[in-house]
Structure 1
Amino acid sequence: MIDFLFKSSISLLALLIFYHLVLEKEKMNQFNRFYLLFSLIFSFAIPFITIEIATEIIKAVENPTIILFSQGSSQIIKETNHSAHLFWIIYGIIAAFWCIRFIRNLLKITSKIKANTKLDYHNAKLVLIPEKTLPYTFLNYIFINETDYYNRNIEAELYAHELTHVRQIHTLDILLIEFLKTIFWFNPIFIFYKKAIQLNHEFLADEFVIRSYENIPFYQSLLISKANVSLPLYLVSNLNFLVTKKRLLMMTKNTTQTKAILKQITLIPVFVVLFYCISIKTVAMEESSSHLIQKKSSLSKNQIKKETLPNKKESLQKVNTSNTSIVANNIVSKKPTTDSITSEEHPITEITQPEFPGGILAFYKFIGNNFKVPSELKGSGKVVLTFMVEKDGGLSEFVILKDLGFGTADEVIRVLKLSPKWIPGKEKNEAVRVKYSLPVQIEPSK
Structure 2
Amino acid sequence: MIDFLIKSTLSLIVVLIVYHTLLEKEKIHQFNRFYLLFCIVFSFSIPFITIEIIQDTIPVAIKKPVVISGEPTMTIVNETTNYWLIILWSIYLLVTAVLIFRFISNILKLTNIKKSNPIVDYKDSKLVLLKEKILPHTFMNTIFINEEDYYNRKIEEELYTHELIHVTQKHTFDILFIEIIKVLFWFNPIFIFYKKAIQLNHEFLADEKVVASYNNVPFYQNLLLSVANTNANYYLASNLNYSITKKRFIMMTKTTSRITATLKKIAIIPMLTTIFLLSCGKKVEKEQIAQEPTALKTPINGMEKYFEDTTFRILDEKGNTIANKKFNELTTEEKDNVPPPPPPATEDEQKMEGQPNALNNTKGPQFIDINIHNDTIEKAYKGKEALDLQPTFPGGMEAFYKFVGRNFKISEQAAAVKLKGKLLATFIVEKDGSLSNIKIRKDLGYGMGDEAIRVLKLSPKWTPGKVDNKLARVEYSLPITIQSGE
- TM-score, length-normalised on structure 2? 0.73
Which sections of structure 1, spanning at least 5 residues, go unmatched? 316-331
Match of 2:237 in 1: 236
Q: Secondary structure at the match of 2:448?
A: helix
Provide the residue aligned with 1:166 in structure 2: 167
Matches within 5 A, 1:290-305: 291=290, 301-302=294-295, 304-305=297-298
For the residue of structure 1 that corresponds to 2:57, the secondary structure is strand
| 1:252-263 alignment runs, 5 A limit | 252-263=253-264
Q: Which AA in structure 2 matches 1:130?
A: K
Q: Report the residue type matching 2:244 in the other structure.
A: V
For 1:262 and 1:155, locate their aligned partners in 2 and report how far apart those are by CA, in whole Å. Answer: 38
Q: Is the 8 A contact 1:377 1:406 kept in 2?
A: no
Q: Is the 8 A contact 2:420 2:482 kept in 1?
A: yes
Change (3 A) 1:362 1:92: same
- CA spacing shift, 1:407–1:185, aligned 2, 3 Å: same
The structure-2 alpha-carbon separation of the partners of 1:184 and 1:66, relative to structure 1 and needing over 3 Å to count, comes to: closer
CA distance in 2, matches of 1:341, 1:119: 85
Q: Distance in 2 between matches of 1:272 and 1:21?
A: 18
Cα displacement (A) at 1:218: 1.1
Partner of 2:439: 398
- Contact 1:74–1:353 at 8 Å: present in 2 too? no
Matching of residue 18 in structure 1 with residue 55 in structure 2: no
- C-alpha distance in structure 2 between counterparts of 1:150 and 1:119, whole Å: 11
- Shift of the 417–378 alpha-carbon distance from structure 1 to 2, 3 Å rule, reads closer
2:328 is aligned with 1:313: no
Listed as ranges, the matches of 1:377-388 within 5 Å are: 383-388=423-428
Q: Following TM superposition, by how much is the alpha carbon of 1:50 offset from its aligned partner in structure 2, in angstroms?
A: 1.0
Residues of 2 paired with 1:406 and 1:68: CA distance? 15
Number of aligned positions between the proteins: 407
Deviations 1:285-320 (A, max 9, x none): 5759xx4xx6xxxx87436144797997278xxxxx
The answer on whether the counterparts of 2:140 and 2:173 sit within 8 Å (CA) in structure 1 is yes
Q: Determine whether 1:372 maps to 2:410.
A: yes
Larger Rg: 2
Q: Structure 1 residues 249 and 367 mapped into 2: Cα distance closer, same or farther (>3 Å)?
A: farther
1:65 match: 65
AA aligned to 2:123 is H
Q: Distance in 2 between matches of 1:40 and 1:226?
A: 33
Name the counterpart of 2:89.
88
CA distance in 2, matches of 1:386, 1:103: 50
SS class of match (2:234): coil
On the 8 A contact 2:12/2:40 being kept in 1, the answer is yes
Q: Distance in 1 between matches of 2:262 and 2:402?
A: 53
With over 3 angstroms needed to count, the CA separation of the structure-2 counterparts of 1:377 and 1:121, relative to structure 1, is same
C-alpha spacing 1:254/1:63, structure 2 compared with 1 (3 Å): same
Partner of 1:39: 39
Q: Closer, same or farther in 2 for the Cα pair 1:92/1:118, shift >3 Å?
A: same
- CA drift of 1:57 comes to 2.3
Structure 1 residue identity aligned to 2:3: D
Q: 1:417 to 1:150 in 2, by over 3 A?
A: same
**What does residue 442 of structure 1 align with?**
481
1:53–1:282 Cα contact (<8 Å) kept: yes
Q: Deviations over 1:300-342 (max 9, x none)?
A: 7436144797997278xxxxxxxxxxxxxxxx99xxx9x9999
Once residues 277 and 360 of structure 1 are traced to their aligned partners in structure 2, the CA distance between those partners, rounded to angstroms, is: 39
1:411 maps to what in 2?
A: 448
Q: Deviations over 1:250-275 (max 9, x none)?
A: 11111111111100011111111101
Percent identity of equivalent pairs: 42
Q: 1:13 to 1:58 in 2, by over 3 A?
A: same
Q: Pairwise mapping of residues 151-300 of structure 1 onto structure 2 (< 5 A)? A: 151-284=152-285, 287=288, 291=290
Query: Quick one: which amino acid aligns to residue 225 of structure 1?
Result: S
Q: Deviations over 1:382-430 (max 9, x none)?
A: 6543224679967435152xx5x7449x6244332463586598899xx
Distance 1:148 1:59 in 2: 82
Which residue pairs with 1:324 in the alignment?
A: none
Q: Is the 8 A contact 1:8 1:43 kept in 2?
A: yes
Q: Please state whether the residue corresponding to 2:263 is helix, strand or coil.
A: helix
Relative to structure 1, is the Cα distance of residues 349 and 258 closer, same or farther in structure 2, using a 3 angstrom cutoff?
Answer: farther
Structure 1 residues 51-60 or 72-81, which shifts more? 72-81
Other structure's SS at 1:227 match: coil
2:53 alignment partner AA? I
Aligned partner of 1:385: which letter?
A
> C-alpha distance in 2, partners of 1:305/1:255?
77
CA distance in 2, matches of 1:90, 1:217: 51
- CA distance in 2: counterparts of 1:347 and 1:172, whole angstroms: 59
Identify if the C-alpha distance between structure 1 residues 309 and 372 changes in structure 2 by more than 3 Å, giving closer, same or farther: farther
Do the aligned residues in 2 keep the contact of 1:68 with 1:442 (CA within 8 Å)? yes
CA contact (8 A) 2:408 2:451 kept: no
Report the CA distance shift for 1:378/1:83 in structure 2 as closer, same or farther (over 3 A): closer
Residue 243 of structure 1 aligns to a residue whose secondary structure is coil
Q: Note the C-alpha offset of 1:214.
A: 1.3
Give the secondary-structure state (helix, strand or coil) at the position aligned to 1:209: helix
User: Do the aligned partners of residues 421 and 138 (structure 1) sit closer, same or farther apart at CA in structure 2, a change above 3 Å counting?
Assistant: farther
- Residues 92 and 306 of structure 1: is their aligned pair in 2 closer, same or farther, counting only changes over 3 Å? same
The verdict on how the C-alpha distance between 1:119 and 1:3 changes in structure 2, with shifts beyond 3 A counting, is same
Alpha-carbon distance, 1:106 to partner: 1.1
Distance 1:433-1:256 versus aligned 2 partners, 3 A rule: farther
Bigger relative contact order, structure 1 or 2, given CA contacts below 8 A and separation 6+?
1
- Residue 225 of structure 2 contacts residue 244 of structure 2 at CA under 8 Å; is this kept in 1? yes
Residue pairs, 1:136-147, within 5 angstroms: 136-147=137-148
CA distance in 2, matches of 1:164, 1:391: 57
**Matches of residues 42-121 of structure 1 in structure 2 within 5 Å?**
42-68=42-68, 70=71, 75=76, 77-121=78-122
* 1:271–1:378 CA distance, 2 compared to 1 (3 A): closer
2-side partners of 1:157 and 1:206: how far apart? 9
Paired with 2:392 and 2:241, the residues of 1 have a C-alpha distance of 59
- TM-score, normalised to structure 1, is 0.79
On the 8 A contact 1:29/1:203 being kept in 2, the answer is: yes
3-state DSSP class of the match of 1:281?
strand
Q: Taking structure 1 as reference, are residues 183 and 171 closer, same or farther at Cα in structure 2, changes over 3 Å only?
A: same
Residues 66/149 of structure 1: CA separation in 2 closer, same or farther (3 Å cut): closer
